[in-house]
């Protein structure tokens, strides 16, 4: 049996943005929490790395829009606590016909009949800075962060035992926020979720005139819908001088351990879709990517999150399937996972996020 000093109120597996916010909320409520990460921090193997991500309130689903209201408050609170800017907010909400949008943003070209919608609360999250601020805050609040420790075994019970490459720990509750490695941890626990792990091409495009798509020109983040099978998104230049991030919100099946293997043919097709978009809509960018990196998405069939307890072990909580749009919502996701782990009444209706919504999870999967 592990020594008393290795007993925690909660262990969180996975130090991406969801795991970090979960540990942050636990530590804020004076819980003894251990955050475990298999890679040394910082790293670029998962879904939370990079310098910038889009933040926006607008969603077709009301439940996300309602969550975003509190997300902005918690992002602002963390920014205040950290003493550093973690996001840049956008401009007023306004519908712009193509000609008016062209006048306001001459570097965007719309086809006849296309319109733009400006959102006041949209903007850029500084992702790397946010992760560092959270990890620092967890430590300052008394939480413990162990990186470079891969989980080898989970033994469920009244106290959950977690064995890593270094040692064993015990906790009253366990929260799994392991991104594309989620099912590897869950299979030995008798459940496999319908998660698709995708490798995403993160493409950066060179400005013909440096700064023309930059923050200094008040160039906005954008989402382009109905222009391809999946939407296209972009952020103003900043991560790399003179390069703008424009990406396709989809990718190809990939094992997270083989993320950097040679590109598949479908990768080339995705880049071709982006090249055509850049040529037609962003004429002051070179239409071939100057830099291409990769990240991982972990998607559910409906692209809604999984925020639930294990169906057999109620002190094991699962946060998964963030489907490429979970970063901005992580302040509230972390709060919900904290509430589930402490058996508190959730602050939000979790019906859209229950495991039971997937009818394919029969006895063979549980």
- Using one digit for the tens of pLDDT, what is the confidence trace for 238-253? 888 899 999 999 888 9
The pTM is what? Answer: 0.91
Fold type of domain 93-120+197-299: D-Amino Acid Oxidase; Chain A, domain 2 (3.30.9)
Average pLDDT, integer, range 128-142: 95
| Annotated domain spans of the chain | 7-56+128-193+302-357, 93-120+197-299
Question: What is the C-alpha separation between 29 and 347, in angstroms, rounded?
Answer: 15
Question: What is the C-alpha separation between 314 and 335, in angstroms, rounded?
Answer: 17
With cut-offs at 50, 70 and 90, classify the pLDDT of residue 262: low
Question: What is the C-alpha separation between 266 and 303, in angstroms, rounded?
Answer: 21
pLDDT score, position 105? 87
Q: Class assignment of domain 7-56+128-193+302-357?
A: alpha beta
Phi, psi (rounded to 5 degrees) for 242: 80, 5
**Closest Cα partner for 294 from 323, 259, 268?**
259
Rounded percentage of the chain residues whose pLDDT exceeds 70: 90
**Cβ-based neighbours of 112, under 8 Å, separated by 6 or more:** 98
Question: What is the C-alpha separation between 214 and 197, in angstroms, rounded?
Answer: 32
Beta bridge partners of 253: 198
Specify the 3-state DSSP secondary structure of 160. strand
């Amino acid at each position: 049996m592990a020594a008393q000093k290795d007993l925690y109120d909660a262990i969180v597996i996975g130090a991406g943005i969801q795991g970090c916010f979960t540990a942050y909320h636990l530590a804020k409520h004076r819980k003894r929490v251990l955050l475990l990460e298999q890679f040394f921090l910082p790293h670029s193997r998962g879904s939370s790395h990079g310098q910038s991500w889009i933040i926006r309130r607008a969603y077709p689903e009301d439940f996300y829009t309602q969550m975003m209201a509190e997300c902005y408050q918690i992002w602002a609170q963390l920014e205040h606590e950290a003493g550093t800017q973690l996001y840049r907010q956008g401009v007023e909400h306004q519908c712009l016909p193509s000609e008016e949008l062209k006048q306001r943003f001459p570097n965007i070209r719309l086809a006849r009949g296309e319109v733009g919608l400006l959102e006041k609360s949209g903007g850029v999250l500084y992702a790397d800075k946010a992760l560092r601020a959270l990890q620092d805050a967890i430590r300052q609040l008394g939480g413990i962060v162990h990186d470079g420790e891969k989980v080898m075994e989970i033994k469920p019970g009244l106290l959950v035992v977690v064995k890593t490459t270094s040692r064993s720990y015990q906790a009253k509750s366990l929260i799994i926020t392991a991104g594309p490695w989620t099912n590897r941890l869950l299979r030995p626990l008798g459940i496999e979720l319908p998660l698709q792990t995708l490798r995403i091409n993160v493409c950066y495009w060179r400005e013909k005139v440096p700064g023309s798509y930059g923050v200094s020109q008040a160039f906005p983040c954008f989402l382009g819908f109905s222009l391809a099978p999946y939407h296209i998104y972009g952020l103003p230049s900043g991560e790399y001088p003179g390069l703008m991030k424009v990406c396709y919100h989809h990718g190809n099946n990939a094992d997270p351990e083989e993320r950097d293997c040679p590109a598949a043919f479908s990768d080339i097709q995705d880049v071709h879709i982006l090249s055509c978009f850049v040529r037609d809509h962003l004429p002051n960018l070179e239409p071939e990517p100057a830099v291409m990196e990769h990240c991982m998405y972990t998607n559910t069939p409906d692209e809604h999150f999984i925020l639930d307890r294990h169906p057999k072990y109620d002190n094991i909580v699962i946060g998964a399937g963030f489907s490429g749009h979970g970063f901005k919502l992580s302040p509230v996701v972390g709060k919900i996972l904290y509430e589930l782990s402490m058996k508190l009444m959730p602050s939000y209706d979790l019906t859209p996020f229950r495991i039971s919504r997937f009818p394919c999870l029969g006895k063979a999967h549980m």
